[in-house]
Amino acid sequence: MASGPTRDLTTASGPSKIRKVDNPIELKSQSVEPFRSPDDWSDPASQESGSTMVPQDRSSSFVMVTCVCGRSLRAKSDQVDQEIRCWDCHQMVRVRDPHQAQKVARELSDSARNVINGPDLASVIVGSLIGTLLFCIPFFGVWCAAVAFALFSSTYGEIIHRTSHGSVRESGPGWIATLIPRSVVKFLLGTLMAVGTVLPIWYLNAAYHQSPHWDRIGLTIAFVTWVFIPLFMLIVFDRTDQKNPAAILSYVKIFVKHPLALILALAIVPVSLVVVELGWGLMFYLTGNLAFFSLEYMPTPLIVMGSNKYPAVMLSGIPYFQSSDYRTLPSSIFEMTYLENLRHGYSLVGAIPASLSMSTRNELNAADAIGIFEPFYLIIRLFFTLTTLIFLLTAFSIQARWLGLVLRFERPKIGGDASSVSPASTSLSPAFSTPPGSDS
Give the footprint of Zn ion on this chain (CB under 5 A). Answer: 67, 69, 71, 86, 88-89
Min CB(351)–Zn ion separation in Å:
58
Rank residues 71 and 76 by Cβ distance to Zn ion and give the closer one.
Answer: 71
Rank residues 31 and 37 by Cβ distance to Zn ion and give the closer one.
Answer: 31
Min CB(84)–Zn ion separation in Å:
10
Query: Strand ranges (DSSP E) for 2-151?
Result: 62-66, 72-76, 83-85, 92-94
Q: How far is CA 103 from CA 26, 110, 189, 318, 371, in A?
A: 24, 10, 31, 57, 52
CA distance 349 to 274: 9
Q: Is 280 exposed, middle or buried (0-12, 13-18, 19+ CB in 10 A)?
A: buried
Question: 65: helix, coil or strand?
Answer: strand
Min CB(88)–Zn ion separation in Å:
5
Query: How crowded is residue 287: how many other Cβ atoms within 10 Å of its Cβ?
Result: 9
Rank residues 95 and 142 by Cβ distance to Zn ion and give the closer one.
Answer: 95
Rank residues 78 and 88 by Cβ distance to Zn ion and give the closer one.
Answer: 88
Rank residues 90 and 243 by Cβ distance to Zn ion and give the closer one.
Answer: 90
Rank residues 89 and 282 by Cβ distance to Zn ion and give the closer one.
Answer: 89
Min CB(87)–Zn ion separation in Å:
8
Q: Which residue from 368, 366, 350 is spatially nearest to 358, judged by alpha carbons?
A: 350
Min CB(76)–Zn ion separation in Å:
18
Query: How crowded is residue 111: how many other Cβ atoms within 10 Å of its Cβ?
Result: 19
CA distance 440 to 438: 6
Min CB(101)–Zn ion separation in Å:
22
Rank residues 85 and 309 by Cβ distance to Zn ion and give the closer one.
Answer: 85
Helix (H) or strand (E) holding 313: strand 313-315
Min CB(68)–Zn ion separation in Å:
6
Q: Is 181 exposed, middle or buried (0-12, 13-18, 19+ CB in 10 A)?
A: buried
Helix (H) or strand (E) holding 157: helix 141-164
